[in-house]
A and B are shown apart, each in its own frame.
Chain A
Amino acid sequence: MLRFFVNKLLLVLPTLIGITIVAFAFVRVLPGDPILLLAGERGVSPERYHKLLVQFGYDLPIWQQYFNYVIGLLHGDFGISISTKRPVIDEFLARFPATLELSVFAMTFATVIGIPAGIISAVKRSSVFDQLTMGVALTGYSMPIFWWGLLLIILFSGMLHWTPVSGRIDLLYFFPPVTGFMTVDALLSGQKGAFQSAVSHLILPSIVLGTIPLAVIARQTRSAMLEVLGEDYVRTARAKGLTPVRVIGLHAFRNALIPVVTTIGLQVGLLMAGAILTETIFSWPGIGKWMIDSISRRDYPVVQGGLVLIAGIVMLVNLIVDLLYGLINPRISHQ
């Protein structure tokens, strides 16, 4: 088990190095100068410009800048934001709970609907339900997130007034953040209606963010179940006189879980990308919106640090998925 873990970490290392290079190069390739953008319309004198350049270390040769950046990372230093002058890691940690909360809701929405829909489609293959579900899934998968988000806002917020348009909670409520999760904090604050308000703010963004994972999970569950339902051990289970629910839900589904869990793990990576669009549409103060804002300000340290942190989280999730394999299917052992 320990060896498996060490092996996995060794595999992760080259990926991480690659990400630091990409993150570092990415912001510098973009046209625009962080110092000029910081100065704004008032402009900046050439002397002051040079002083700031030296202060941020952008006067050094490019390889040396990268070197300093990596040395910093190795010391756990993600740099200081140019625009807010606060450590990148602090800014990240302040916003990450919002994204995590949204992602958890979106993923819950996607799996709770996607898995049963996939199972039923597989069991009732070629039925009206199956064709309808797979049609809807394909549509959901193909839909641009920002457009889908706007449609939902127009319908549910604009016309029906069922849900709020943006933000995490009503302005009426205020309480200090304890966990950073608005729903949990609202419950802890004990204010009446706060929790409902927090949840109602989560509904639309979760649906928008969860739509693509939902479609992918439903389709993957269906194809994994179709494969497994024809297996001999499913026939054995039926020959035991077990109920269909037990045959399908336990004997078949347990075997279909591996590809489904893999898909869910991979979706977490896409979720981060989706979060950027979703958070922008709904003014959700998470890392997606933070990254977009930082890119437009050419805040080099924030973009670099943010990308590495997000990539690290995605890799961590995939590592957890790898560990789950062994629990789901005993044939995959971690020696």
Chain B
Amino acid sequence: MALLEIENLTVAFATSVGPFKAVDNVSLTCDRGEILSIVGESGSGKSVAMLALMGLLPWTATVTADTLRFDGKDMLTMSAQQKRTIIGKDIAMIFQEPMSSLNPCFTVGFQIGESLRIHMGMNRAQRRERSIELLNLVGIPAPEKRLSLFPHQLSGGMSQRVMIAMALACDPKLLIADEPTTALDVTIQAQILDLLVDLQKRHGMGLILITHDMGVVAETAERVQVQYAGQKVEEQHVRELFRDPHHPYTQALLSALPERATRRGRLPSIPGVVPGQYDRPSGCLFAPRCRYATERCDRETERQGAEFGFALCNYPLKDGDPTGYPEKAEAGQ
């Protein structure tokens, strides 16, 4: 049984013009010792799905799911109080903006120690000892001195290390990293990613890495889930995904990478934008931007099996060509 099992998770936000589905029937699993990467552009619902799991969404959000199970415990039927014994202890999360994610009014030591006191019931001396150990673990030099610092006295990279130390405080089974390197300098990005992967290996925890950076995916992930407009469009092992993407969106994303651009001249891009609340297509959400879209795609879309990476596509790609694609003349209709 996987550590985290999510089946058909839907998150809808109440807006003045009716509900808006930010996450649409997304399923995912993540096991102990595994790195799952969720990729997608802004607004693809990748963060929202994880915030829903953590219970961190605003009250305008409605979360529904067939299964939401962590470590064998059903998170759907759990009371808020029971949830708080898991959140921050067994599931920890780090965020995109380390500088604003730390509370400016409290010292580093207080903020790390807080989880230790609430979840582990440690006394002051134990908390101090463990905090120093944690800061050492995330590679912060002279940790004894850092404990009394306030967040504004830390750099961005240092703040993210503190966030990671906070997340690791209670030895979580699952760590969710929501774009942990987006706000950091490129040189620091690599350090933080290495640190995360190293800690994940050493502690044997599950790591869900949310990112929009394919470079980050290639470097760290094992299994990759691609999301588009709130839906999961493909799921594959990282190497296969880069070698043979099955969904046209994944293919388009990969060909837009500067490293993979084969020809000189303009870099390929995906025309159009992600559909919003008002222009949501009735069939495949990617159809308006897809070069392979047919009239059928405007009506419906089919979930493929494992051989096509569970692609949500009527004509999944195989070695760059759409499978089961109608004849040219027919497609043109």
User: A-side interface residues toward B, CB under 8 Å?
Assistant: 231-233, 235-243, 251, 254-255, 328-331
Q: Which of A231, A236, A238, A330 has the most CB of B within 10 A?
A: A236
User: Can you identify 11 A-B contacts, CB atoms within 8 angstroms?
Assistant: A233-B103, A238-B87, A239-B92, A239-B93, A241-B83, A241-B119, A242-B88, A242-B114, A251-B106, A255-B104, A329-B104
User: B-side interface residues toward A, CB under 8 Å?
Assistant: 54-56, 83-89, 92-93, 95, 97, 100-106, 114-115, 118-119, 150, 152, 163, 166
Which residues of B have CB within 8 Å of A239? 54, 56, 87-88, 92-93, 95
**Complexed CA–CA distance, A330 and B153 (Å):** 10
Which residues of B have CB within 8 Å of A233? 100-104
A250, chain B: closest CB distance, angstroms: 9
In the complex, the answer to whether A241 meets B104 with C-beta atoms within 8 Å is no
Q: Which of B54, B89, B105 has the most CB of A within 10 A?
A: B105
A214, chain B: closest CB distance, angstroms: 26
Which residues of B have CB within 8 Å of A329? 104-105
B112, chain A: closest CB distance, angstroms: 10
By secondary structure, the A interface counts as helix
A221, chain B: closest CB distance, angstroms: 16
In the complex, the answer to whether A330 meets B104 with C-beta atoms within 8 Å is yes
Which residues of A have CB within 8 Å of B166? 236, 240
**Complexed CA–CA distance, A328 and B101 (Å):** 18
Which residues of A have CB within 8 Å of B100? 231-233
Which residues of B have CB within 8 Å of A330? 104-105, 150, 152
Evaluate whether A331 and B104 lie within 8 angstroms (CB atoms) in the complex, with A236-B95, A240-B115 already known: yes
In the complex, the answer to whether A242 meets B84 with C-beta atoms within 8 Å is yes
A260, chain B: closest CB distance, angstroms: 13
Which residues of B have CB within 8 Å of A240? 87-88, 114-115, 118, 166
A231-B100, A241-B83 known; 10 new pairs, CB 8 Å cut-off, are: A233-B104, A235-B101, A236-B101, A237-B103, A238-B54, A238-B55, A241-B84, A241-B86, A330-B104, A330-B152
Q: Which one, A236, A243, A254, A255, contacts B84 given CB within 8 A?
A: A243
Evaluate whether A235 and B56 lie within 8 angstroms (CB atoms) in the complex, with A330-B150, A331-B104 already known: yes
Which residues of B have CB within 8 Å of A232? 95, 97, 100-101
In the complex, the answer to whether B105 meets A254 with C-beta atoms within 8 Å is yes
**Complexed CA–CA distance, A329 and B106 (Å):** 9
**Complexed CA–CA distance, A239 and B92 (Å):** 7
Which residues of A have CB within 8 Å of B89? 241
Q: Which one, B105, B115, B150, contacts A241 given CB within 8 A?
A: B115
Which residues of B have CB within 8 Å of A328? 105
Which residues of B have CB within 8 Å of A254? 103, 105-106
Which residues of A have CB within 8 Å of B97? 232
B6, chain A: closest CB distance, angstroms: 18
In the complex, the answer to whether B95 meets A241 with C-beta atoms within 8 Å is no
